[in-house]
Structure 1
Amino acid sequence: MERLNIEEAGRTCQKVISQVKKVIVGKEPVLEKVMLAVLANSHILFEDYPGLAKTLLAKSFAMSMGCGFSRIQFTPDLLPADITGTYVFNVRSGEFELRKGAVFTNILLADEINRAPPKTQAALLEAMQEKQTTLDGKTHLLDNPFIVVATQNPIEYEGVYPLPEAQLDRFLVKLQLGYPARTEEVEIMHRRMLRGQEDVALDPVTDLRTILDLQQTVEGIHVDDDVMGYIADIVQATRSQRQIDVGASPRGSLAIFKLSRARAVFHGRDYVIPDDVKEVVASALVHRLIMKAESWVKGTSASQVLEEILRTIPVPRVKT
């Protein structure tokens, strides 16, 4: 792996987004956040209703980047072995052979992750954290990059197993696509008519090696001490807000740090500015906060509290 020229890195990111937008209508801010998570080689959680193109989005990114893609539907009877794999006895050879599970890919769509029981969820989340899986005492490294795009139904849905806070913390970002606007919905139908078929095919505009180089480029992005202090102030503030029961951990600070550096690369800069931080705070922290019961009753959301924090924390001046 090697670091790319920063302008070249930014152009590559824009090419990927442009290719994905041939299929996904609108939702540019969400597409950018997904690309930032890819640059940070980290995992993404979508909480949304069915039918909002989450599967199509994940598959479109994989095709555009020349990455491997697989999808697994989480159900109450899904077993950990379905995710990680298992050894199966081959009668002809008289030996046990590895039957790889869904995690042996680059981008894995874990659909409706909160419909599976906790033990099955834990099997995936362990692979996410360790980037490897252990089967019958043998350790198998996962592909690089390995990025999970997990979807979960809103908590009011029946038959769901909410992800524990410690497991939610493993996702770099939590995103929502939301319903399209009327003009976007018309455009979706228009594109479907022009396509003439249900399946979508996109040519890759980059390759796996370049994606790895992009991720390495992120590691070379400079973050000023004042910007690091700004990130720390934001996260520290979540621990003293009256509406929040449990604030973000240092992992939240690192999430903002990683996303801010990735956003700098996305926009062709080799340094982070405060605007990078502001743009990623909500996506990085919203799932890491536990709101107090009275906040839920009043309808106060984590996003609203984070907006209030951003308004009150002084923004540093950074020399460019």
Structure 2
Amino acid sequence: MNSKRVLKWIGCVVAAILLIYITLMVIVILLLVGSSEFKNSSIHLTEFRNSTLFYDDEDHKIADKVVAVHEVDNKLYYITLDGIGIFDENVSLLDTWNKDLNKYNTFIPRIDVKETHFNVSLDELYPNISSLDETDRDIWHEIFFDSEKRYTGPHAGYTIKLPFYVSYRKEDMVKHNDIVDLSTGHIIGKYGSEHILRNNAYYNFEFGKLTKIDFSQKGIYSYYSDNLNIGRFSKNNLGDEGYESYAQNELNKVRMKDLTVLPNLMNQQFIVFDSFNEFSDFDKDTFEALAINAIKNRKALQLGPLENQTLQQYLSK
């Protein structure tokens, strides 16, 4: 009798453990499905460790240094600093179990150059793109050139003019996009806040830095100013010396990186202005509109010094 009770007790414990295990597994599956970034819930993109696109876990990498991912039907058309690729999400159960993903992934490397190539064509930028079938080639052309932005999503970016591309919007203390030179595989503008393409030039406002990519002159013009640090417009950190020092150090890092990398990439067509007044009046008006939008679009910021004066007046003091 006692042995039967013991066996019954053991059976109840085992059943309870199995029930708890099954319940936990169902919860995990529901969470994964509910938070899936793509149609295949096993695929994820992390912003850490070089923005890695992976299947199931980071040991099974699809690509890293990812700039953007456009999901079309059940395929991922991804752009990296080293090239472009297509991943078919229809992975079989057997291959899922074995983590055999190579047959589902096609990668096309970019051209191997050390200087920026302005106004480069897609075929010049990715010489092996002709090896893809016509449907995939058409989709890549739409991704890079379709002004209607047909293929969009949370991880999609957009073309300025090749080879310049704006990455997907990353989550941070300040949400931001990066400007990427796809011909050399370099990020040439981080933490872009507001931007616009006007008169064959691309204008980008970052807190602390203004950038103009001039496609007519085939050059980049930048201006750096501590007066544009985000702390100067913060509602909560105004006058915080520690925060101000941190913002200045971050700007100094950006400036030093630009001065080290960009002159070589641009074949000396990287110009640093010492004064905001070196921009044209059209440029100044454009940057002022971008700066005001960048500040107004953030709840933690206020216009402050720009409420009673223009950006030109503020930066000319």
Q: TM-score, normalised by structure 1?
A: 0.27
Specify which structure has the bigger relative contact order, considering alpha-carbon pairs within 8 angstroms and separated by 6 or more residues.
1
Task: Please identify which structure carries the higher strand content.
Answer: 2
More helix by share: 1
